[in-house]
């Protein structure tokens, strides 16, 4: 069955790139432009198999978004990958603390992206 990935990023370029990479790997992709929108899209589409979110976004940032996902019993076991330009141990710990399942370091290699999604997708 086709898996659905929700991408949350305020940059159109990033959304397009994620879309291209994920659709190319056979995923269905739904998109949102910030954290608030992300929660709305998640609710409207009845959840996703994997969520990928940026951190720096207007209205609600990635941390707020993850908290929103984790605090809803409907999605609390949905894997959430964080897009980050930062890959050191403190940033990883911070992402984990915020409830992220894993991370993707930007700029990302499409193969790595797809691999990360596959790793966390049930």
Partner 1 sequence: MDTFEAIKATFFQECDELLADLETKLLDLESGAADDETINAVFRAVHSVKGGAGAFGLEALVRFAHVFETLLDELRAGRKPCDELTVRTLLRASDVLADHVAAAQGTGPEVEEARSAALVAELEVLTHGEGGSPAPDEAEDDFGFQPVAFDLPSLDLPSLDLPSPDAPGAPAAGGWRIVFRPHGRMYVNANETGLLLRELGRLGPLEVELDDSAVPMLDRLQPEENELVWTIRLTAPVDEAAVREVFDFVEGDCDLRIEPIAGEGPELPPLIETPDAPADDIDISALLAKVQDEPAAAVTPAAPATSAPAAAAPAASATAPTASSPPAAAAPATIRVDLERVDRLINVVGELVIQQAMLAQRVTESGLARSSGISVGLEDLELLTREIQDSVMAIRAQPVKSVFQRMPRLVREVAEMTGKRVRLVTEGEATEVDKTVVERLAEPITHMLRNAIDHGLETPEERTAAGKPSEGTVRLAALHRSGRIVIEISDDGRGINRERVRGIAVSKGLIAEDAALTDDEIDNLIFLPGFSTADAVSDISGRGVGMDVVRRSIQSLGGRISISSNPGKGSTFTLSLPLTLAVLDGMALGAAEQTLVAPLSAIVESLTPKAEDVHYVGGHDAVIRFREAFVPLVDVARTMGFRDAPVPPGQGVAVVVETESGARAALMVDAIHGQRQVVIKSLETNYQQVEGVAAATILGDGRVALILDVDALVANARRRPAAADLKLAS
Interacting residues toward partner 1 by CB under 8 A: 10-14, 16-17, 20-21, 24-25, 36-37, 39-40, 42-47, 56-58, 67-68, 70-74, 76-80, 85-88, 90-93, 96, 99-103, 106-112, 114-115, 118-122
DSSP structural state of residue 105: E
User: Rounded to the nearest whole angstrom, what is the least distance from the CB of residue 82 to partner 1 in the complex?
Assistant: 10
Alpha-carbon dihedral sign for residues 61, 58, 45, 113: negative
Residue 28 vs 70, nearer CB to partner 1: 70
Residue 28 vs 36, nearer CB to partner 1: 36
CA 87 to chain CA centroid, Å, is 16
User: Rounded to the nearest whole angstrom, what is the least distance from the CB of residue 61 to partner 1 in the complex?
Assistant: 9
Packed helices 35-45 and 62-70: angle between N→C axes, nearest 10 degrees:
30
- Tokens standing for 22? 């994920």
């Amino acid at each position: 069955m086709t898996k659905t990935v929700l991408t949350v990023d305020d940059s159109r370029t990033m959304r397009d790139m994620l879309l291209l990479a994920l659709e190319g790997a056979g995923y269905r992709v739904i998109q949102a432009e910030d954290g608030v929108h992300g929660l709305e899209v998640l609710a409207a589409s009845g959840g996703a198999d994997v969520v990928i979110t940026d951190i720096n976004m207007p209205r609600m940032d990635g941390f707020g978004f993850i908290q929103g996902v984790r605090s809803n019993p409907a999605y609390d076991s949905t894997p959430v990958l964080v897009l980050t330009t930062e890959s050191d141990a403190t940033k990883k710990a911070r992402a984990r603390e915020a409830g992220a399942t894993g991370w993707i370091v930007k700029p990302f290699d499409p193969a790595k992206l797809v691999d990360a999604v596959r790793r966390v997708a049930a």
